[in-house]
Structure 1
Amino acid sequence: MKHIAAVGAGFSGAVIARSLVEAGYRVKVFDIRDHVAGNCHTERDPDSGVMVHRYGPHIFHTDSERVWEYLHQFTELMPYTNRVKTTSGNKVYSLPINLLTINQFFCKAMSPTEAMAFIEGQADLNIADPQTFEEQALRFVGRDLYEAFFKGYTQKQWGCSPNQLPASILKRLPIRFNYDDNYFFHKYQGMPRDGYTAIVEKILDHPGISVELGTKFTREHVQEFHHVFYSGPIDGFFDYELGRLGYRTLDFKEIRAEGDYQGCAVMNYGDESVPYTRIAEHKHFSPWEKHEKTICFEEYSRACGPKDIPYYPIRLTQEEAMLRDYVQKARDEEGVSFVGRLGTYRYLDMDVTIAEALEAANEFLTLVEQGRKIPPFFVEPI
């Protein structure tokens, strides 16, 4: 029986491991942390009883029926709508920017048609081809909304001026001309009743899977396995020989209180004068539960150091050039495929991570059956 290694006990490693053991393989899963589920890790707070998203909020949303049904094998997904608020200039508004936000901000009572015409008058139409985040925002919402809701938050999140960030970060038109305040557009949205860690534990609960936590997987271990699926940092696999790819990391300041602290799950803070980007109140992520006490995290973004947990790949010019070099080194390796957010240095939502892991496992099985070479990447990182 061939032995496979899956490095990383998050969704990428767990889903691949489960798919392969069900096809007859044995899989050993490694993780450097002392728990599974990676940055999706959830745990019960012993004092309040609240299910805490230890590394920041994770809301499941997808248009993929396949992924939605896959998760339902391992959890009950409860109905949940992500309704984000933001504080700007000592006033609270609804996000994403919608008709209520526009009418509140400009002290008007416009219809959708009137609001469209009004915002078009605010937009900087001289920017024909936005190249930066700032230009993208100015082109679509104008300076007032940009400075209230995007400029300060983005500066804090990425540690640089929005005029240094690519327009692609602001992917789609950040405005709605109705009163829909659902943060996501996707068909399926929900929260796991027992948290994300319980899902990953159930995915890994198979006699053909062994899990080693608190264990660093090194390049030298590759030869011990028929194949390795590596979802750790691609630069870390090569011991940062070419330098470290840039990430933002997060720090959390805990707040404990009685009752309801802020009245919503997530409150953004758009003003540059407020040092944190948002506050998450975790009991609101499980509205079917009732708790007298509450626990919140203030969230601070900063550059990721060597001992920090990487969250968001920066992917500016310097990182893109370094990534190309690491990708070439990965192509020269034998017996390793790089997968997931860290392995391909891409920002991935949970549903995309799961879908890509399922596809990677299926492609691996097909290629093995055909006697063909396993690629270093199932999804190209560049």
Structure 2
Amino acid sequence: MRFIGEELYEAFFKGYTIKQWGLHPSALPASVLKRIPVRFNYNDNYFNHKFQGIPKFGYTQMVKSIVEHENIAVELCRSFTQEMRTDYDHVFFSGALDAFYSCQYGRLEYRTLDFKKIICQSDYQGCAVMNYCSIDTPYTRITEHKYFSPWERHEASICYQEYSRECEAGDIPYYPVRRADKMDLLNKYLSRAKKEKNITFIGRLGTYRYLDMDITIAEALQTADVYLTSLYEQKEMPAFTVTV
């Protein structure tokens, strides 16, 4: 509040935060609110990174190229079970931390998303992403994908509205909700996980942290380096390679 004042807080932060997280901003850690950049100029970029970009042929092609590597086997529609651990020297688990233990201590809190597809025969909103901060608008943002690749020409447009809600059993968990009043439950899982052998928890769900894609990828590469070093030095690989 002291950085932006009450007027901007009410206009941009309060309603959007309630929609996105289902909580009043006061119930969330400051790190969540600090994710929204505040500028005093006309720069409308969300990120401050010196280099920004997307894969030349899109994320689908990038991931496809990775998983089609001869040393990678992909099995779909198969849930992880503890018995699988005996098949490998080491496991890197990027699923939900509480799900790894079958939610024995209770379910951690997550937010999930519902998407509504919009097909427009022209431009829809004129930019890649527009966030809707008013509490009276049910969706949080609209993404118009063709604006991510302005070097291409598309007359029609495909957009998606995003609706945030509480993640229930069977939903896809998108956002871990780290609340100060719920840390006891998280710490139970973290304490148990840190004692595990031959497994490392990674990613947004595995470490129960709200991470952007660039940080997630950087941490994955860092984890790979730690693992290779541990093999070379014949040391035990930790359950977490980051501070959780």
Single out whichever of 272-281 and 207-216 deviates more from structure 2: 207-216
**1:49-68 pair list within 5 angstroms:** none
1-side partners of 2:162 and 2:74: how far apart? 31
| Residue 138 (structure 2) pairs with residue 251 (structure 1) | no
Aligned-residue CA RMSD (Å) = 1.6
Q: Determine the C-alpha separation between the residues in 2 that align with 1:175 and 1:334.
A: 43
5 Å matches for 1:8-19? none
Pairing of 1:165-314 with structure 2 (within 5 A):
165-171=28-34, 174-314=37-177
Structure 1: runs of 5 or more not aligned: 1-137
Secondary structure of 1:192 counterpart: coil
Contact 1:140-1:173 within 8 A present in 2 as well: no
Alignment: residue pair count: 244
Amino acid at match of 1:253: K
Provide the residue aligned with 2:190 in structure 1.
Answer: 327
Q: Tell me the distance in 2 between the aligned counterparts of 1:171 and 1:269.
A: 18
Higher share of residues assigned strand = 1
Q: 1:196 to 1:178 in 2, by over 3 A?
A: same
1:360 aligns to 2:223 (yes or no): yes
User: 1:328-353 CA distances to partner (integer Å, 9 max, x unpaired)?
Assistant: 21123222111111110011111111
Task: Provide the secondary structure at the position in 2 that maps to 1:139.
Answer: coil
State the distance in 2 between where 1:172 and 1:263 align. Answer: 24
Runs in 1 of length 4+ with deviation above 4 angstroms?
none
User: What is aligned with 1:152?
Assistant: 15
Using structure 1 for the length normalisation, give the TM-score.
Answer: 0.61
What residue identity is the alignment partner of 1:365? Answer: L
Q: Which of 333, 336, 344 is 2:199 aligned to?
A: 336
Query: Unaligned stretches of 5+ in structure 2?
Result: none
Q: Separation in 1 of the partners of 2:52 and 2:74?
A: 30
CA apart distance, 1:175 = 2.5
Amino acid at match of 2:137: V
Alignment partners' CA distance in 2, 1:318 and 1:226: 37
User: 1:179-225 deviations in whole A, cap 9, x for unaligned?
Assistant: 22222110110121221121122223322222212221111110111
State percent identity of aligned pairs: 57
